[in-house]
Amino acid sequence: MGVLLSLVEQMKDTVQILDTASYLKGRTVAQSTQMKILRQMVRMSQVDQALRLELDRGKLTYFLSQAGNEAFHVGVAFGLKGGDWLFPMSTLPTRRGHNMTADIPGLNVVQASSPGASRLVHANGTAWAAKLAGEKAVSCVTFGESIANQDNFHVALNFAGVHQTPALFVCMTPGGYKDTAGEDIAGRAIAYGFSGMRVDGTDPLAVQKVIGEAARKARGGKGPTLIEAVWPEKTDESPVERFARNLKVSVEDLEMTEEEVEGQVKLALSRFGNADPKDCVFGEDDPRMSKGS
């Protein structure tokens, strides 16, 4: 009971760094790291905008914007280390070992599928494999709060709890979407025998801190963590603007040139462009293409 109470106590607060007194006194993250994070957020925001334009022009058939979620995604990526595994939610353009939010050498990024919650079980699988191999990699999966309704949410967290895998389940609960999965997703971790944390999803430094702490804990053999990123009261200020204001820098100064954005978009779109679908079904020729027809 004592353990449970302390877990509940721990989850009461939402971790925040930006706009807090200690941040304003310069007592938190190194300036150079902050600039790196902000630059990535700006890049992500620009690429997102360009991809939305491609969608409007009919050049893309499907793209879900992540505008407003830059702090969350970049914060998550910066909380991880090379060799870790990231299963980003379905809306993020990704390529193996590299994603649009962070250039972390050796980060294993697994492209998302549409069935949202099955990825939580995969992330637990890579975490479990790392544990079995005695390696220090952690696995982190991000998902929207509606995924907490699905059976695989339970399956993944249950497996993680039973086998104490180095897995980070990171839920994004933007304002206005709270009701479909009910309140307090982070609190559900207790039922699976590990701890939950809540963090401000528009504060990249707080997200990075929470992910980093959970990853350290996982690396130390202390099991999984469920993290819920929540959005504070709606304001007109975007997370990018909020961070820039705190850092006292101008967003415009950090923006990529039009050519650079174009290059990033091309890179994102080039991934599957010319692949012949039948060459990708099996390793060799699709047996049904060669033998069965």
Q: Report the interface residues with another protein, using CB under 8 A.
A: 85, 96, 108, 110-111, 113-115, 118, 121-130, 132-133, 139, 151-152, 155-156, 158-159, 162, 271-272, 275, 277, 279-283, 286-288, 291-292
Q: In what order do the strands lie in the sheet with 139-144?
A: 14-15, 195-200, 225-230, 167-173, 139-144, 85-87, 108-109
Strands 14-15 and 195-200, by their bridges, are parallel
Q: In whole angstroms, what is the distance from residue 239 CA to residue 34 CA?
A: 13
Least Å from the CB of residue 167 to another protein: 9
Least Å from the CB of residue 144 to another protein: 18
Q: Which is nearer to another protein, 15 or 117 (CB)?
A: 117
DSSP codes of every residue in 205-222: HHHHHHHHHHHHHHHTT-
Q: Which is nearer to another protein, 141 or 229 (CB)?
A: 141
Q: Name the strand (E) or helix (H) holding 226.
A: strand 225-230
Q: Which is nearer to another protein, 80 or 244 (CB)?
A: 80
Least Å from the CB of residue 243 to another protein: 32
Q: Which is nearer to another protein, 121 or 171 (CB)?
A: 121
Tokens of 198: 């809540």
Least Å from the CB of residue 73 to another protein: 20
Least Å from the CB of residue 287 to another protein: 3
Find residue 95's DSSP bridge partners.
98
Q: Which of 202, 210, 249, 209 is nearest to 68 (CA)?
A: 202
Q: Which is nearer to another protein, 17 or 107 (CB)?
A: 107
| C-beta of residue 86 within 8 angstroms of C-beta of residue 99 | yes
